[in-house]
Amino acid sequence: MQATTVNIIVGSHVWVEDRDTAWVDGEVTKVNGEKIEVQTTSGKKVVANLSNVYPKDTEAPPAGVDDMTKLSYLHEPGVLQNLATRYELNEIYTYTGNILIAVNPFRRLPHLYDTHMMEQYKGATFGELSPHVFAVADAAYRAMINEGKSNSILVSGESGAGKTETTKMLMRYLAYMGGRAATEGRTVEQQVLESNPVLEAFGNAKTVRNNNSSRFGKFVELQFDKTGRISGAAVRTYLLERSRVCQLSDPERNYHCFYLLCAAPPEDIKRYKLGNPKSFHYLNQTNCYELDGVSDAEEYLNTRKAMDIVGISPEEQDSIFRVVAAILHLGNINFTKGKEVDSSMPKDDKSRFHLEMAAELLMCNVQGLENALCKRVMVTREETIIKSLDPDAATTNRDALAKTIYSRMFDWIVEKINNSIGQDPDSKNLIGVLDIYGFESFKANSFEQFCINFTNEKLQQHFNQHVFKMEQEEYTKEEINWSYIEFVDNQDVLDLIEKKPGGIIALLDEACMFPKSTHETFTQKLYQTFNNHKRFSKPKLSRTDFTIVHYAGDVTYQADLFLDKNKDYVVAEHQDLLNASKCPFVAGLFPPLPEESSKSSKFSSIGTRFKQQLQSLMETLSSTEPHYIRCVKPNNILKPAIFENQNVIQQLRCGGVLEAIRISCAGYPTRRTFDEFLDRFGLLAPEVLEGNYDEMTACEKLLEKKGLKGFQIGKTKVFLRAGQMAELDARRAEVISNAAKVIQRQIRTYIARKEFVALRKAATHLQTLWRGKLARKLYEEIKREAAAIKIQKNVRGYHARKTYTKLRLSAIVVQAALRAMAARNEFRFRKQTKAAIIIQAQWRGHRSYSYYKSMKRAGLSVQCAWRSKVARKELRKLKMAARETGALKEAKDKLEKKVEELTWRLQLEKRLRTDLEEAKAQDIAKLQLSLQAMQVQLDEANATLVKEREAARKAIEDAPPVIKEMPVVVVDTEKVDLLTNENEELKTLLKSQEKRADEAERKCAEVQELSEERLKKMEEAESKIDQLQESFQRLEEKLSNLESENQVLRQQALVMSPTKGLSGRSKTAVIQRSPENGHLLNGEIKATASPVPALKDAAEAEQRPQKALNDRQQENQDALIKCIMQDIGFSGGRPVAASIIYKSLFHWRSFEAERTNVFDRIIQIIGSAIETQENNDVLAYWLSNTSTLLLLLQRTLKASGAAGMTPQRRRSSSATLFGRMAQGFRTSPSGTGLSFSNGGMIGGLDALRQIEAKYPALLFKQQLTAYVEKIYGMIRDNLKKEISPLLGLCIQAPRTSRASLVRGSARSHANAAAQQALIGHWQSIVKSLSNFLKTLRANYVPPFLVRKVYTQIFSFINVQLFNSLLLRRECCSFSNGEYVKAGLAELEHWCYEATEEYVGTAWDELKHIRQAVGFLVIHQKPKKSLDEITHDLCPVLSIQQLYRISTMYWDDKYGTHSVAPDVIASMRVLMTEDSNNALSNSFLLDDDSSIPFSVDDISKSMNQIDLSEIEPPPLIRQNSAFNFLLPRAE
């Protein structure tokens, strides 16, 4: 691939080569002719040649594309970036056309390979779902079935790239589709995979690059019969690298089995005389003996176990490892010159020891082995000549023997594995899986690498032809001209290697046949022959190396060992020696040869044999339809989340992926559908979009207008030549740039005007401020002038007032002086007069006061004497009151103690309180009496005082006038006040005691409330205990009921056989039947002692009326069966058939009969009626009847010997009839809720008796239960089948081209019709749901069952939509989320109209798809945190599901991004932490098809049924035997 050299301008985003990361992206900063300067995203500035850069698609989806043919630029860096982006998101599979690229994640991803995922890819169109290995397997299987042609799947890649795991997944899916049952407990897939450890031990080895490289090709055939079922399998091996047994290069190893045997247990090592690997020549040619992290001892034991599994017996295993040990001993046999000329012999005792050990292990003659190694027999016409071999020839002879033995042993192991698996010789169709080594290029490349790369050249040619064929099919499908496209072929390289004569292999064989040829003469011959060949070159500094230009790159080979490794002799001595071995295994490896081929030794070329086997493989592949899977190892340290670009790009080259891209680039590498093309480039010619053109014409006109040549217009796509996409993108970028300039010009104009307006506004504001400042300054001047005038006025007034005041003060001083002199004279006169008056007053007062004091002393003496007398009397009373107060305090103390001690005794405290109140009342009464007495005394004292005052007043009146009256103080009032205060203190103390008593009463009430609460809790606990005991008793009763029913069944099973025997001998037994219905009475069989003639006649006489009764009963049953075979409808919402069946069976007492066939006949009628599974109306009719009849039986029947009890809800997990028998027997009815007017049953629940059911009735009930569940499942599955195709159309909205939406108003009606068609799929689902609901309601199916049906249907819708959403990236878009959301709104509206009675909580079953769609249509996803997403937006979805949606999301409407990278990283961490949980890793949902109800559920959910007023159908109404069905008149 060459980079494009056009349309790289400054600002273009390009890819440039980088030594560390292969390619790095950047932006062009300078273009200088053919040189450009790029600023890379890593921060470097790189100068590159214009021809070595690639354009970058800046509009590529952030999560990459699932098919790299969808890339806008299909080149090496674009492919690498897409793989790296998807690998970071755990999207390990990517398509390139129909080629699958699988990148090894180096971690467990069980959710990608479970049964749910296989179910999703089953029958899906290739490319419809996300890329997956199952899609390739399904495509191969479908092609084989539909076209009848065998298919092959070629899995290639390095060791560690995941080829084995991919092969395993392919076979798992094919086994899932083929459906072959396991053979001896193991499936074909398991048997093939179990052979891998054995084949790896004997066919894998360490190479320079890989520790476990397959050194052979493996083609696994899965054989199918005509019906597509696996009928056999086989493992074909090709191209085993035989030379590795004898020759190694450092640091490689020989085949694993040699090292495993050297690490075997000591007893095996002793038996085979082995030791350290370093002691064996075939192993010590390198310095590598062990592998890191691998224990050869454990691998030896594991290999032994694997050999046991594939059917290799211990004796055969022992023989195999004897041969392996013998090969090691053969390698240690060295030769020296013998006694004769050109002869040889074992070099020393050590060599002879190994010779003897090899002979012992091969169980052949020691001397014969020596002769076979050191001598050669030549047969001529005259005689047989024995020729001795020199040491070099003997060594070559030894190595030839070792290689022959090992290769034949490997072929035997493969054949043994095939015999163990089992092949189908009649199979005509097969699917083969090829697992073969990949392209190799090391520092030192020898003959092995030459053969391997030759194989890969052959496979690459096959691959190129397939890719070109696919390109041709694509072009033919689109009806475009592709005749001038050249096919990229590597036939010249193949001719260089294999052409006869003159090819490298032919020249090598020719050189090997000449004894004197050396590697130097061989290489010189190559130089001369291919001097001018463009694929062959000679290194400058080497004389024995040559270089071949392969499709994956140049490889230089060292020819030093080419001749030795190519030589392989078929030696007759070896054949005869080992054929005569005493070991059957060794002798079987070398069967006798035909006479003509056993006479002499012949030269055999390994290269020629290799070419022949390769040709056989290519013929096998050519006879099949190929499919390709390229496995890629992202890093060499085998760690997850590491993507090494250099390593991956080398594998893509070696795997031919880049070669396939080169083939695509030779034609039309860029393909876009019309709508995508117009969406992206419609802006280049808007007038084309505005015109009334269809999409094809619009695309063609757009390309013609832009002057592009060489493009092709297909039926649905535009095909562009290499470079044309870049040119269109450049022109698109130019248009967008011009549009951006226009937008920038408008924005700048807007900004400039905005700035001008702002400046103008600012200037106006400044002017306003300045003018205001000037006005304020003028105002200030005017104000200052007015202030000055005012100040002058005030100053002048001040001076005038000051003069006036001074004059006035002077006049006043003069006046004051004159008036003061007159006043002093007046004062002097008055002062003299006043002094005389005061002296007179003082004298008079002194005389009156003296008289008063004498009178006061006399009055006081009289008062004191009297008051003392009264006080002493009062004191005595008060002392008595004080003693009573002390008693009150003691009572108070006792009361406090009693309150503290007896707070819980409320009644006692109340009595104390009553006593206290009485004492208080008495004390108060006493105090009141004392107070009244004192009041009386006080009144008497007051009266006395009044009298004394009157007397005093009279005395004062009689006394001289100078005596002044003085108040009299009563001393006794102080004692009264003291007593009053004490009384108040006592009252206060009494109140405090009352408060304490109230507080104690409150605490007592709280304690009483707490005790009452605890008492209530104890009562509740006791009630719960009683309920549990009752439940336990009911369970025990149920258990006893079960045991009794089981006992009835067992006894009936034991009695049935002898009963049949007795019934067949009418001479020895008389069967008594009820005269009413002809059934057996209680199963009694009366056997006669002997066949007496009299008894025989009596029995015959008795049987005649009995037979008549039986015939009549049979007629009644026939009438009933004939009636219920017809659709007799419903009466008042109740099924008539169920009613008359139940009434008739109850009336005939069939439930109590030991033997009757009426139940079987009813079951047969139901079974034949529902054979037509597509008729939902019939199914609904019988679901209504069977569920009603089952309800009646459930509430009526009980097992013999068991008491009735209330049925308890208990689900049964068994879905089979006999698995449900125990479930049906565990309950017995508590009442039927039926109302009968005759037939032995009366109305009312309590009056109805339960029936002791016998075995036939119980079996009938279980069969009826099975039919209810079967009919329910058929109805549910029919609805699923009807809506399933519609769901596939509802998950993805058809993309409407933007061009078609802008072509004028003429398209508006068409767009409206298109929108109506889009929602029409959802409306079709709603219509199906409504029709089903109408059918169920018309047949009066119980609402409980209807709710269950729609709950499971909505769960099915949720699973299908959600799984499809997660498997299709195109569905995880914003517009598609809006489309699905609109459809879900239709379903929600239907649920609302259907009412909760029939739909229930079915809407809640859509929670997964609702939350997923809600997440798709929310805006600003990058701003949402992980906590918001997991707890608020999508709490139901798991981390794996959220991660899947987040990484697949793309916004086709607004171009927004998904959640933030740190949220994605957090999700990845959580997924890694929980990677061991297989269930949590699965992001797909599982559809539940179980039966979601039990008999108890039906019994509890359905209401009471009144059968009394149901009119029987006319067919039996006229039959007098069915009069019991007629309702009674009132």
Given this model, what pLDDT does residue 127 score? 82
Residue with more model confidence, 896 or 361: 361
Q: Torsion over CA of 940, 944, 949 and 955, rounded to 10 degrees?
A: 170
Residue found by looking up tokens 């799984």 in the block: 1363
Could you count the other beta carbons within 10 Å of the beta carbon of residue 1164?
12
- State the average pLDDT over residues 573-592: 87
Decide if pLDDT at 1304 tops 60. Answer: no
| Whether the predicted pLDDT of 1289 surpasses 90 | no
Q: Are 154 and 627 in contact (CB under 8 A)?
A: yes
Q: Hey, which residues does 1318 pair with through a beta bridge? A: none
Say if residues 431 and 547 touch (Cβ distance below 8 Å): no
Q: Which residue has the higher pLDDT, 603 or 373?
A: 373
**What CA–CA distances, in Å, run from 134 to 123, 139, 1316?**
10, 8, 36
| Strand, helix or coil for residue 500 | coil
How is residue 301 written in tokens?
């034991």
* 3-class DSSP assignment, residue 582: coil
As given in the structure block, the two tokens for residue 1308 are: 């508006």
Say what the pTM is: 0.61
**pLDDT score recorded for residue 311:** 86
Tokens read off for 1115: 């007629």
**Burial status of residue 490 (CB atoms within 10 A of its CB: 0-12, 13-18, 19 or more):** buried
Measured CA to CA, the distance from residue 778 to residue 755 in angstroms comes to 35
- Segment 920-940 shows an average pLDDT of 80
Q: Residue 764: its pLDDT value, please? A: 95
Per-residue pLDDT averaged across 1024-1045, rounded?
A: 68
Lookup: tokens for 1048: 């009835």
User: How confident is the model over 1337-1352, as pLDDT tens digits?
Assistant: 888 899 989 999 999 9
Q: Looking at 105-119, 139-153, 1037-1051, 1504-1518, which range is the least confident one?
A: 1037-1051
Residues 1286, 688: Cα–Cα separation, whole Å: 36
CA angle 570, 573, 574 (to 5 degrees): 65
* Amino acid identity at 937: Q
- pLDDT at 898 (0 to 100): 67
Residue 441 in contact with residue 208, Cβ under 8 Å?
no
Q: Given CA atoms 1064, 1067, 1072, 1076 in this order, what sign does their dihedral have?
A: positive
Contacts of 757 (CB under 8 A, 6+ apart): none
Per DSSP, helices labelled H in 62-114 are 76-88
Q: What is the Cα–Cα distance from 1154 to 1056, expressed in whole angstroms?
A: 10
Compute the half-sphere exposure of residue 1154: CA atoms within 13 Å on the CB side of its CA. Answer: 19
Overall residue count recorded for the chain in this entry: 1530
Question: How much of the chain, in percent, has pLDDT values that exceed 70?
Answer: 82
Confidence class of residue 757 from pLDDT cuts 50, 70 and 90?
A: very high
pLDDT (tens digit, 9 = 90+) per residue, 1088-1145? 333 434 444 544 555 555 666 677 778 888 888 888 887 788 887 888 888 888 888 8
User: Which one is predicted more confidently, 786 or 1248?
Assistant: 786
Residue 1242 has pLDDT above 50, yes or no: no
Q: Give me the pLDDT at residue 444, please.
A: 83
Q: Residues 496, 502, 505, 510: what is their CA dihedral angle, to the nearest 10 degrees?
A: -160
pLDDT of 1202: 41
Indicate whether 754 pLDDT > 50: yes
Tell me the C-alpha distance between 1421 and 1436, whole Å.
18
Task: Tell me if residue 672 falls in helix, strand or coil.
Answer: strand
Residue 570's SS3 state is: strand
Give tens-digit pLDDT for 172-194.
888 888 875 444 456 677 777 78
Q: Average pLDDT, stretch 1277-1303?
A: 69
Whether residue 1070 has pLDDT greater than 70 = no
Q: Is 806 exposed, middle or buried (0-12, 13-18, 19+ CB in 10 A)?
A: exposed
**Of 246, 98, 218, 94, whose CA–CA distance to 159 is shortest?**
218
**pLDDT for residue 800:** 94
3-state secondary structure (DSSP) of residue 296: helix
Contacts of 1023 (CB under 8 A, 6+ apart): none
Q: Which residue has the higher pLDDT, 254 or 1128?
A: 254
Q: What digits encode the pLDDT tens for the residues 1183-1193?
A: 988 988 888 88
Query: Which tens digit of pLDDT belongs to each residue from 473-483?
Result: 677 777 777 66
Q: Measured between alpha carbons, how far is 999 from 1008 in angstroms, rounded to an integer?
A: 14
User: What pLDDT does residue 594 have?
Assistant: 62
According to the model, what pLDDT value does residue 603 have?
Answer: 62
Q: Could you give the 3-state DSSP secondary structure of residue 779?
A: helix
In order of 578, 930, 967, 975, the CA distances from 937 in angstroms are 159, 10, 21, 13
pLDDT at residue number 1079: 42
pLDDT, one tens digit per residue, over 509-537 is 888 888 788 888 999 999 989 988 889 99
Q: Are 1409 and 1398 in contact (CB under 8 A)?
A: no
98, 627 Cβ separation under 8 angstroms? yes
Looking at residue 457, its amino acid is E
What tokens does 1083 get?
């199963």
pLDDT attached to residue 1071: 32
> Residue 1512 has which token pair?
């029987």
Q: What is the largest CA-CA distance in the chain?
A: 207
Measured CA to CA, the distance from residue 243 to residue 259 in angstroms comes to 17
Residue 962 clears pLDDT 50, i.e. is over it: no
Query: Which residue, 672, 677, 731, is CA-closest to 688?
Result: 677
The percentage of the chain sitting over the pLDDT mark of 90, rounded to a whole number, equals 16
- Gap between the Cα atoms of 857 and 851, Å rounded: 10
Mean pLDDT rounded to a whole number for the chain: 79
pLDDT at 1078 over 70: no
pLDDT of residue 1129: 81
Task: Give the chain's end-to-end CA distance (angstroms, integer).
Answer: 101
- Tell whether omega for the bond before 960 is within 30 degrees of 0, i.e. cis: no
Give the model's confidence band at 685: pLDDT under 50 very low, under 70 low, under 90 confident, else very high.
confident
**784: confidence class by pLDDT, cuts 50, 70, 90:** very high
> Do the Cβ atoms of 529 and 637 come closer than 8 Å?
no
Distances (CA, A) of 74 to 321, 666, 724, 1053, 1278: 53, 11, 12, 77, 47
Sheet strands side by side (includes 670-673): 670-673, 717-720, 712-713
State yes or no: pLDDT of 1306 exceeds 60.
Answer: no
Average pLDDT over residues 688-716: 79
* Segment among 498-507, 595-604, 831-840 with least mean pLDDT: 595-604
Which H/E stretch holds residue 95? strand 93-96
pLDDT number for residue 994: 79
Q: Three-class SS of residue 263?
A: coil
Q: Give 278-313 pLDDT, tens digit per residue.
A: 999 999 988 888 888 888 899 999 999 989 888 899
Q: What is the pLDDT at residue 1371?
A: 81
So what's the pLDDT on residue 137? 93
CA-closest candidate to residue 1009, choices 906, 908, 912, 898 = 906
Residue 790 has pLDDT above 80, yes or no: yes
Q: What's at 607, amino acid-wise? A: G
Cα gap 1119→799, rounded to integer Å: 147
- Quote the CA–CA distance of 1140 and 1513 in Å, as a whole number: 9
Q: Which pLDDT belongs to residue 1103?
A: 57
The answer to whether the peptide bond before residue 1229 is cis (omega within 30 degrees of 0) is no
State residue 749's pLDDT score.
94
Least confident window among 182-191, 388-397, 453-462: 182-191
Torsion of CA 294, 297, 299, 304, to 10 degrees: 180
Active site residues: 159-160, 164, 210, 213-214, 438, 440
Q: What single-letter DSSP state applies at residue 1433?
A: I
Please tell me the predicted confidence (pLDDT) of residue 909. Answer: 61
Whether omega before 314 lies within 30 degrees of 0, making that bond cis, reads: no
- Which residue shows structure tokens 């400039």? 752
Predicted pLDDT at 1066: 33
**Residue 770 pLDDT exceeds 70:** yes
Label the pairing between strands 670-673 and 712-713. Answer: unpaired
Instruction: Please state, in angstroms and rounded to a whole number, the distance separating the CA atoms of residues 1149 and 1077.
Output: 8
CA-to-CA dists, residue 564 to 331, 455, 589, 1328, angstroms: 16, 20, 25, 77
Closest residue by Cα to residue 915 from 899, 928, 932, 900? 899
Does residue 1453 surpass a pLDDT of 60?
A: yes
